[in-house]
Chains A and B, each alone.
Chain A
Amino acid sequence: MARPPRIWISNETPAPGEIVRVRAQMVHVMESGLRLDASGQTVPQDILTGFTASLGDSLLLEWTPEMAISQNPYIEFTFAARHSGRLRMVWTDRRGVVAQADRDVTVG
C-alpha cells in the first residue's frame, strides 16, 4: 500500500446532533480493465469495490465505486453526531480490505 488514506474531519468533538463533515481520499490506480497497453494487451482491471463509513456500530455510509471512478477516489460526506464512537472508514477490493482509517469522535 502506497500511503495511508488522507482524512479530514470538521470537528472531532461535536455537540450532540451537530453535522460533522468528513473528507477522505484513497490513493488507488482504479484501472478500468478497458485500456490496452502498448503491446495491445488488456490492462487487468484493478478497482476498489467497496467503501463503508461507520460510527461505532452505526453504519453511516456504504458506497460501491465502479470502474468509471477516477484514480485516487475522493469522497466527502456528512453525518449527524448523535453518539460518541470510533469513526471507521474501510476501503475494499475483490480480495478484501485495502485500507482502513479510524478517528475517535466524542460528542460533548
Chain B
Amino acid sequence: MRATRRDMLLAMGAGMGTLALPQILRAQAAAHVAVVGGGFGGATAARYLRRLNPDLRITLVEPQEQFVTCPFSNLYLGRLRDWDSITHGFDGLRAAGIEVIHARAEDVDGSARSLGLSNGARLDWDRLVLSPGIDFRWGDLAGYDEAAAELAPHAWKAGPQTQLLRRQLEAMEDGGTFVMVVPQGAFRCPPGPYERASMVAHYFKTHKPRSRVLILDSQDRFAKQPLFRQGWQALYGEMIEWVGQSDDGLVVEVDASTRTALTAFGTRHKADVLNVIPPQKAGLIAERAGVTDETGWVPVRADRFESVHVPGVYVLGDATIAAPMPKSGFCANAQAKVAAAAITADLAGREPPPASFANTCYSLVGPGWGISVAGVYRAEGGKVVEVAGSGGVSPLEAGPEFRQAEADHGAGWYASICADIWGTA
C-alpha cells in the first residue's frame, strides 16, 4: 500500500504522542484538490469546494485567461448578445482564495497522484477533479479535420471558431444558404444545433431575408422538436429546412474547400456558409488520465461523479456518461456541487451526502420566444435516474406571454449561473 501523507503524519503523530494532534488536524484540513477546466463544471467545483471547506487548498488549471460560454454563444451569432457578455474571467475565483494557473493539463498519474502541466510544473493532489469538456473525433467524418474547420467552422467550442462563423455569416450575400451538419453519437448541448439554426434565421430575417437555413441531421428526432418547429414556422416561415436521417440527412463526407456536404445516399449540398458539428468524445486529458471507456466518454459513480476506473479522480460535465442527464452547462454545475460535497466528505472520512441533480435547458427560438426542457435526477443503483414526474418541456399550446417569460427566465438563468460560477454579471 502506498504511504499517503496522512499515513506518514499519523505515524509521526503516534510517535510524538498527543501533543502533535493539532498539527495532524491542520495537515489533513489542508488537503490539496486540483481542478482541471475552468468551465461550468470545473469552476463550480473549485468555488464550492472552497465554500464547503475553506481550509482546502484548491488549484484551478485552465489554459485560457478568459472563458467563453457555449450557452448563449448562439445568441452572439444571432446578434442578440455581444462577445463580452459571454466572456468570463477568473478574478472572482482568485478573490475567493482559489489559485488559478493558466496552463494546459498534459498528463495525470493516478497512482502517484500528480498532474503535469504545459508550463513544466507538476502538481501533487489529494483529489483531482477533471472537467475537460469535449474534444472532436477529427477524421471520423471524412474530409473534416482541424484545417477544414478553418474553412467550415464547427463553433462547438465557444471562442475564435464562434467569431469565425459569425464573420462568415456577415460576409455571406443575401440569398445564400447556411448548411449545418449535426453529428452522430452523443454531443454537447442536444438542443444547441436547433437554437443555432433559429439564431441564424433571425439574423437572416433581419439582414438577409432571401437566405435559407438547411439542417442535415444524423438523427430522426431532436430535443424540443415540436416546440422548435412551431417557433420556426411562426417566426421564419419556410426559411429553415430540417432533413432528418430517414430523409437522407446523414452526412458522410464534407469538402470544406468547396463548402459541400455529401449525404449517405449520395446527395451533394452546396453551402455558402458550412457549419460542421463534428462527432465528439471526452476532452483529451480524460483519455490521458485513463478514465475513459471504449465509447470515448467517462463512466462515473453516479452518487459522487468519481471515476469508476481511477479512485480519487472526479469527472464532471460533458465528458461523462451521465444519461439521462444531458450534456449541458447546467448539469455540469449540478454535478460539480455533488462532487464537491462528496470530496469534502471523503477527505473528512465521511460518506457523501445523497446526490440530487437538476437541469434546465433554455433555448431561444427568436427574440422574446424562449422554450425549455427541465429534469430532476438522483443517483440510484450506481446510475443517474430521472425522478418520475419531474421536469418536462414547455407546453406546445402557450401564448406569446409564456414564450416571452421563458426568454426572460433563460436570460435570468444565464446571469445567475455565471454569478454562481465565475462571480461575473
Contacts and interface: CB of A to CB of B under 8 A. Distances in A.
Interface string B227-259: 000000000000000000110101000000000
Size range of the chain A interface in the assembly: 10 to 19
Interface string B258-279: 0000001110000000000000
A6 B220 contact: no
Contact of A27 (B246, B250, B265, B266): B246
Interface in B102-124: none
Nearest to A27: B246
Contacts of A23: 264-265
Contacts of B266: 8
Given A23-B264, A23-B265, A6 B245 contact: no
Interface string B384-409: 00000000000000000000000000
B313 to A, nearest CB: 33
Interface string A57-78: 0000000000000111010100
Given A6-B248, A25-B246, A27-B246, A71 B265 contact: no
A23 B264 CA distance: 7
A14 B126 CA distance: 60
Chain B: interface residue count, which band?
Answer: under 10
Given A71-B220, A72-B220, A8 B245 contact: no
Nearest to B266: A8
A8 B253 CA distance: 14
Among B246, B248, B264, B265, chain A packs the most CB atoms within 10 A around the CB of B246
Interface in A23-41: 23, 25, 27
Contacts of B265: 6-8, 23, 25
Interface in B171-220: 220
Interface of B is mostly: loop
Interface in A1-30: 6-8, 23, 25, 27
Given A27-B246, A72-B245, A72-B246, A8 B220 contact: no
Contacts of A27: 246
A8 B246 contact: no
Nearest to B264: A23
A1 to B, nearest CB: 15
B245 A74 contact: yes
A7 B266 CA distance: 10
Contacts of A74: 245-246, 250, 264
A27 B220 CA distance: 12
A6 B244 CA distance: 14
A99 to B, nearest CB: 14
B269 to A, nearest CB: 15
Interface string B314-333: 00000000000000000000
A57 B266 CA distance: 28
Contacts of B264: 8, 23, 25, 74, 76
A74 B250 CA distance: 11
A43 B266 CA distance: 36
A49 to B, nearest CB: 20
A102 B305 CA distance: 51
Contacts of A7: 265
A105 B78 CA distance: 49
Nearest to A24: B265
Nearest to B247: A6
Nearest to A7: B265
Nearest to B267: A8
A71 B250 CA distance: 15
A104 B246 CA distance: 24
Nearest to A23: B264
A27 B245 CA distance: 11
Nearest to A76: B264
Contacts of B246: 25, 27, 71-72, 74
A25 B246 CA distance: 7
A40 B266 CA distance: 43
A74 B264 CA distance: 10
A72 B248 CA distance: 11
> Which A-B residue pairs are the 4 nearest by beta carbons?
A72-B246, A8-B265, A23-B264, A8-B266
Interface of B: 220, 245-246, 248, 250, 264-266
12 contacts: A6-B248, A8-B264, A8-B265, A8-B266, A23-B264, A23-B265, A70-B220, A71-B246, A72-B220, A72-B245, A74-B245, A74-B264
Interface of A: 6-8, 23, 25, 27, 70-72, 74, 76
Given A23-B265, A76-B264, 4 more contacts: A8-B264, A23-B264, A74-B245, A74-B264
